[in-house]
Structures are given as structure tokens and as C-alpha cells.
């Protein structure tokens, strides 16, 4: 799999700024992590993903995160989209992936080397972990960073008779990486600006207490709950956080 398509065009407008935007689930907070695995994947539609397993320091907890860094075949496998006023903007997943690459290796995503590695991955057909060859980003593995994590609440979903995912009344809780920092607390923006002190991670921590929940749950008036339909979450895992066995 070629990583060269992730090179960032010079005419893409930067959105890399410090802002306070808006199973086992961690509380919202800052967590120091070490990269356990990092590899590229591809959806059936041709979209490229960066897949990470991050070990929380001094815990057995593993944070699993999938970042979509390009569009699919139908949209040209681009790492950006074009706004209505014809401006290029990086995909949110590409922004985070490039920040992670810079924090961990000092390089952007497109400059990293891809190596073939065999790791154990969950096989949904076999319903078991199987040795699988992946395009690994070994330069990331074993490196450390600090992440700001949100606890998120949303609806579980099921496929209806037309194959469309629809919201259910049952809630789903999971975790999502909101902000990325160097191990010493500097953000990518602060480091690039040669700031004297890492201040933004403290502001982030003050803004989001451990009780904070990013609530995306929507009330369902016309429920399609049906025991004959498989219960399917909107992501490939029940939680981004699992206990490392």
C-alpha cells in the first residue's frame, strides 16, 4: 500500500490550531500512551485508514483508534475535501494522523516507511484473532505521546430491512481522541511556534472534567427495534478501550 498519496498539497488551508471544541470506557481526561501497533488499512470502498493500538502508561488498558485518512475510490482517494467556496480542507482523520506522525517521529505521514508485518487481528468471519499481514508503520511503534480523550454517548444502531443503519433507543458509550500532545505536554501548534511553555494541555484539562460526556444521543420516536435484526455498532469495536490480555 502506497503512503505517498498522503502528501499534503500546499494549497490546502490549515486547520491545525489549538481549540477547545466541543466493554470499558475511560473517563474524559489526559492519558499518556505508548504505541503498541500502527498500521494502514483500507475499506471495501477504498478509503485508507490509520489503525492504532495505544497502551495507557501504568495500566493494562489498550486504546484502539481508527482514523480515516483518505476518501474512497468514488471520491478519488483524497486526503482532503473541497468546500462550497472551493477551498481544500484536510479530512479530520488526516489532520490527527499527521499530528500523530509528527509527535512520534518528527515526520509527516507521507514521509513514513511502510513495512510488511504479521500481527494478530480480529477476524469477523472466523470470530477469532488470526495472524494477518499488514502495512505497518514501525517508526511509530514504541513511541510515546499524551492524548486528550472524550467519553462519548450516542445511539446504538441496527440495519433495517433496506440495509440502512438506523438509530436505536439503547445508548452506546465509547471513547474518542479529541486532542494530541507531545509527551512533555506541548501541542503540535505550540511546538511549531517554539512556545516556551506547554499551556494548552492544561487549558484542555480544565475545560473537560472527568465527568464530561460528549452527548450525541438522539431521541428515537419511530424505533425500528427488531430482534430479527443484528445489533451493530457504528464502529468496528464496542469500545476504543479494552483490557490488554
Determine what percent of the chain is predicted with pLDDT higher than 90.
67
Q: What is the percent of the chain where pLDDT is above 70?
A: 81
CA distance 232 to 234: 7
Q: Name the DSSP letter for residue 140.
A: T
Residue bearing the bigger pLDDT, 223 or 97: 97
- The domain in which residue 125 lies consists of 1-8+32-142
Please say whether the beta carbons of 24 and 239 come within 8 A.
yes
Statement to judge: residues 45 and 63 lie in one domain: yes
Q: How far apart are CA 96 and CA 92, in angstroms?
A: 6
Report pTM: 0.76
**Strands, E assignment, 83-143:** 88-90, 115-123, 128-136
Is residue 162 located within the same domain as residue 205? yes
Number of domains in the chain: 2
Same domain, 37 and 123: yes
- 163 & 136 share domain: no
Q: Among all chains, which residue has been given the C-alpha cell 478519488?
A: 76
Q: What integer best gives the mean pLDDT of the chain? A: 85
133 lies in the same domain as 36: yes
Same domain membership, residue 116 and residue 174:
no
My answer on whether 55 and 93 are in the same domain is: yes
Q: What is the pLDDT of residues 98-125, one digit of tens each?
A: 999 999 999 999 999 999 999 988 887 8
Range in 55-59, 160-164, 211-215, 228-232 the model is least confident about: 228-232
Q: Are residues 106 and 182 in the same domain?
A: no
5-16: pLDDT as tens digits: 666 666 655 555
User: Given a cut of 90, is residue 155 above it in pLDDT?
Assistant: yes
Cα–Cα dist 93/100, whole Å: 11
- Taking only the tens place, the pLDDT of each residue in 39-67 is 999 998 999 999 999 999 988 888 889 99
Work out the pLDDT band at 231, boundaries 50, 70, 90.
Answer: very low
Amino acid at each position: 500500500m502506497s503512503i505517498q498519496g498522503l502528501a499534503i498539497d500546499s494549497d490546502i488551508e490549515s486547520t491545525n490550531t489549538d481549540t477547545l471544541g466541543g466493554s470499558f470506557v475511560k473517563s474524559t481526561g489526559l492519558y499518556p500512551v505508548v504505541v503498541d501497533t500502527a498500521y494502514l488499512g483500507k475499506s471495501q470502498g477504498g478509503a485508507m485508514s490509520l489503525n492504532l493500538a495505544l497502551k495507557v502508561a501504568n495500566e493494562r488498558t489498550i486504546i484502539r483508534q481508527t482514523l480515516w485518512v483518505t476518501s474512497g475510490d468514488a471520491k478519488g482517494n483524497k486526503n482532503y475535501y473541497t468546500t462550497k467556496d472551493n477551498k481544500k480542507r484536510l479530512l479530520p482523520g488526516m489532520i490527527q494522523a499527521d499530528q500523530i506522525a509528527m509527535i512520534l517521529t518528527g515526520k509527516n505521514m507521507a514521509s513514513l516507511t511502510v513495512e510488511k508485518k504479521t500481527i494478530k487481528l480480529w477476524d469477523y468471519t472466523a470470530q477469532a484473532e488470526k495472524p494477518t499481514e499488514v502495512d505497518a508503520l514501525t517508526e511509530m511503534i514504541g513511541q510515546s505521546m499524551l492524548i486528550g480523550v472524550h467519553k462519548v454517548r450516542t445511539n446504538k444502531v441496527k440495519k433495517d430491512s433496506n440495509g440502512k443503519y438506523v438509530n436505536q433507543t439503547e445508548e452506546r458509550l465509547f471513547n474518542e481522541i479529541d486532542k494530541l500532545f507531545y509527551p512533555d505536554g506541548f501541542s503540535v501548534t505550540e511546538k511549531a511556534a517554539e512556545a516556551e511553555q506547554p499551556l494548552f494541555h492544561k487549558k484542555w484539562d480544565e475545560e473537560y472534567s472527568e465527568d464530561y460526556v460528549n452527548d450525541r444521543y438522539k431521541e428515537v420516536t419511530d424505533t425500528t427495534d427488531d430482534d430479527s435484526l443484528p445489533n451493530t455498532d457504528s464502529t468496528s469495536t464496542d469500545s476504543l478501550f479494552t483490557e490488554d490480555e
